[in-house]
Amino acid sequence: MPLLKSWVASANDAAHPFPLNNLPYGVFSVDGDDPRCGVAIGDMILDMQAAEKAGLVRLGDAPLFDVPYWNDLMEEGPAVWAALRERLTALLSDGAAEQEKVEALLVSAVDAELHMPFAVSEYTDFYAGKNHAFNVGTMFRGPENALPPNWLHIPIGYNGRASSVVVSGTDVRRPWGQLKGPNDAAPRWAPCARFDIELEMGAIVGTPSDRPITVQEADDHIFGYVLLNDWSARDIQAWEYQPLGPFQAKATANSISPWIVTKAALEPFRCDTPEREVELLDHLKDCGPMLYDIDLEVTMAPDGKEATTIARTNYKEMYYSAAQQLAHHTTSGCPMNAGDLLGSGTISGPSKESRGSLLELSWGGKEPLTLDSGEERSFIADGDTLTLRGAAKGGGYTIGFGDCTGTVLAALENPYAR
């Protein structure tokens, strides 16, 4: 598909992340007004609440955009999702008859504050990138035992905290926790010293389910995607994770990008999952291209310093797709809700510079990174700003997500000091 032309001039730049081909969904406010739903088009945002009130968008008898989140639209299902995309494309295309009316409802993106684009119902994080799993397993168990026996058969995951999900730009406070080194006789209470990121994609469930669903059904149920940073306290995790897996180490924050890129916008960039080492059981088998060719990168900027790109990789490196993760999640009969968020797991490539976490990039702290400022990092220092970026490129246009950024603040004073 070529670049679609819009009467919004900035949307016609091949490098702009928000062309007419994209139309991502977010929530914004201006000058302290109440947050409301918006659609990004070039350097502008279309006020969906105003568009609905003006009769330019009408998808049913009841309003869908009188609330500051996109969950109500999600619950309407794929036919309504498609109808909205078709209507928005018509309103914003070059030569649209209603251009003058729509122009009056546009807001400059530079004047807008962005908020959480949807209400997160539940949050599940997976461990579904093979390169990441192999790297981490090698550090702790050696290459011969890097992948646990179940890893090539099912997408491993754990249920996290929906309350921990925050929008890009939200500061992240360094957590306290129990830490125990390999030579310590007992744990101690201290701020995390090995704070980390995980470069992930987040899939948003749009269609609820209350029964096991197939991989194809799961793909149909996905509403869209965001960038996701799973902030991780590695030293807290090392002490707590056996035998039930991550808990407090993963509960500090999970940052997401502010714009939901719909599955429809990503259709031209579909690609296959990697070749399987063992055959999957029937309920998890691939049924077509379920991944996406999305370039990803991470930058780190010390306080007051320029940013350094520390990693570049691609979403197509995942071993299990979001559709396979969702299908597996439902196998027990687990109900899934509109607004459920599924973290892909860390997306790492095969080379050192494509590793999606500092744990891997510094190889457990043994090989510190040197930033462009000359400073070294094994893990995140107070004041560091981490930014995730992602874009699918091809056909003369770019589909972007907006930055996913967070700055790490120093830990609070000991909350239990007497």
Residue-wise pLDDT tens digits, 320-350 = 999 999 999 999 999 999 999 999 999 999 9
pTM: 0.97
**Model confidence band, residue 187 (pLDDT cutoffs 50, 70, 90):** very high
Out of 16, 115, 132, 328, the active site residue is 132
DSSP letter, residue 275 = P
Task: Please answer whether residues 253 and 406 qualify as being in contact, where contact means their C-beta atoms are separated by less than 8 angstroms.
Answer: yes
Hey, what amino acid is at 123? Answer: Y
Spatial distance between the Cα atoms of 218 and 289, rounded to a whole number of angstroms: 13
pLDDT at position 60, please? 87
SS3 (DSSP) at 283: helix
Spatial distance between the Cα atoms of 393 and 398, rounded to a whole number of angstroms: 5
Which candidate, 360, 364, 165, places its Cα nearest to that of 251?
165
**Model confidence band, residue 214 (pLDDT cutoffs 50, 70, 90):** very high
**Model confidence band, residue 104 (pLDDT cutoffs 50, 70, 90):** very high
User: Sign of the CA dihedral 69, 45, 221, 281?
Assistant: negative
Task: Please answer whether residues 386 and 197 qualify as being in contact, where contact means their C-beta atoms are separated by less than 8 angstroms.
Answer: yes
Spatial distance between the Cα atoms of 369 and 48, rounded to a whole number of angstroms: 44
Q: Is 132 annotated as catalytic?
A: yes
pLDDT at position 79, please? 97
The strand ranges marked E within 85-182 are: 106-108, 113-115, 123-126, 157-159, 165-167, 172-173, 176-179
Which candidate, 164, 145, 382, 343, places its Cα nearest to that of 252?
164
pLDDT at position 305, please? 97
pLDDT at position 61, please? 87
Which candidate, 260, 248, 132, places its Cα nearest to that of 202?
260
Average pLDDT score over residue span 379-390: 98
Per-residue burial over 147-177, b = 16 or more CB atoms within 10 Å of its CB, e = otherwise:
beeebeebbbbbebbbebbbbbeeebebbbb
Spatial distance between the Cα atoms of 386 and 308, rounded to a whole number of angstroms: 10
Contacts of 145 (CB under 8 A, 6+ apart): 137
Spatial distance between the Cα atoms of 152 and 127, rounded to a whole number of angstroms: 11
β-strand 106-108 against 44-47: which pairing, if any? antiparallel
pLDDT at position 1, please? 80
β-strand 123-126 against 341-343: which pairing, if any? parallel
DSSP letter, residue 321 = -
Q: Residues of the chain with pLDDT > 90: what percent?
A: 97
Spatial distance between the Cα atoms of 287 and 214, rounded to a whole number of angstroms: 10
Average pLDDT score over residue span 215-241: 97
Q: Hey, what's the torsion of the CAs at 121, 136, 174, 183, to 10 degrees?
A: 130
